[in-house]
Amino acid sequence: MLNTTIGQLLLIVFSFLLVIVFSGKKVFASQPEPEFPPRIFIVGDSTACNYPQSQAPRAGWGQILQEFFADEVEVVNAAASGRSSKSFIAEQRLEKVLSSIEPGDYLFIQFGHNDQKPEVERHTDPFTTYQEYLSIYINGAREKGAIPILLTPVNRRNFDANGKLKLTHGDYPAAMIQLGEKLNVPVIDIGAKSQVLFEQWGPEGTKRLFLWLKPGEHTNYPQGVEDNTHFCETGAREVAKLVVEGIRELDLPLASYLK
């Protein structure tokens, strides 16, 4: 009788473990609500990071994101100019983020612009090392009880003669989407969304989204500037809107805090 009872208990425990391992989203949905409103930690590159007034009107979308959330949600923007998924980790920037992140917080992960650069300190290959480094962010967040979200790299301002955007990120967006499917991580496809946005604005209109200034137009750029990678405040705000759109489309619990 005792052996039978133990066997039944072991079978119940084993069945429960199988549910945990294979139910993915069910486990996520059944997590207890955090005691406090979640924070949003952003890791990424210059398209997302904060800029000082001395570089205004240059701005990253992460610098603007706070505007779209209720005051009790804090956006912690750790994105840094020039970093790739590899160099961000090598400089112990991810370690610093993970030391602060708590259960119920979100980790927004957007890299790709600098992963394609040739320098060994930054370069990754889309379907091998890029995915391996992104997995470190994902696993690190999950180990802390936080929720990882992948965001494909935002496009550059690069049009062909027909007004269609030239896509310059190669296989990196596809590799990120593939990894998201494999590891059951939500993906906001900012690459695809920004392509639609930029083509709507067109070759001339998008100059108002990027850091394009005529000589003498702004005291921080007396000689003018024509930058097809980095945004002005208007462009950063439009890209932040795409991030918000993605949050709503994924029906993340975070969406309840949007204004």
Torsion of CA 64, 65, 69, 71, to 10 degrees: -60
Quick check: helix, strand or coil at residue 72?
coil
Give me the tens of pLDDT residue by residue for the chain, a chain 259 residues long: 434 344 444 333 333 333 333 333 333 333 445 567 999 999 999 999 999 999 999 999 999 999 999 999 999 999 999 999 999 999 999 999 999 999 999 999 999 999 999 999 999 999 999 999 999 999 999 999 999 999 999 999 999 999 999 999 999 999 999 999 999 999 999 999 999 999 999 999 999 999 999 999 999 999 999 999 999 999 999 999 999 999 999 999 999 999 9
State which fold the 36-257 domain adopts. Rossmann fold (3.40.50)
The token pair that represents 51 in the structure block: 């800029």
226 part of the active site:
yes
Torsion of CA 77, 202, 191, 172, to 10 degrees: -110
pLDDT given for residue 32 in this prediction: 44
230 part of the active site:
yes
Q: How many Cα neighbours within 13 Å face the side chain of 77?
A: 18
Q: Can you tell me the distance from the alpha carbon of 130 to that of 137, in angstroms, rounded to the nearest whole number?
A: 11
Distances (CA, A) of 2 to 10, 16, 33, 141, 246: 12, 21, 39, 43, 54
Quick check: helix, strand or coil at residue 158?
coil
Of 121, 226, 245, 249, which residue is the catalytic one? 226
pLDDT given for residue 197 in this prediction: 98
pLDDT given for residue 143 in this prediction: 98
pLDDT given for residue 36 in this prediction: 78
Of 46, 84, 85, 194, which residue is the catalytic one? 46
Say what the pTM is: 0.87
pLDDT given for residue 201 in this prediction: 98
The domain locations on the chain are 36-257
Of 81, 87, 113, 230, which residue is the catalytic one? 230
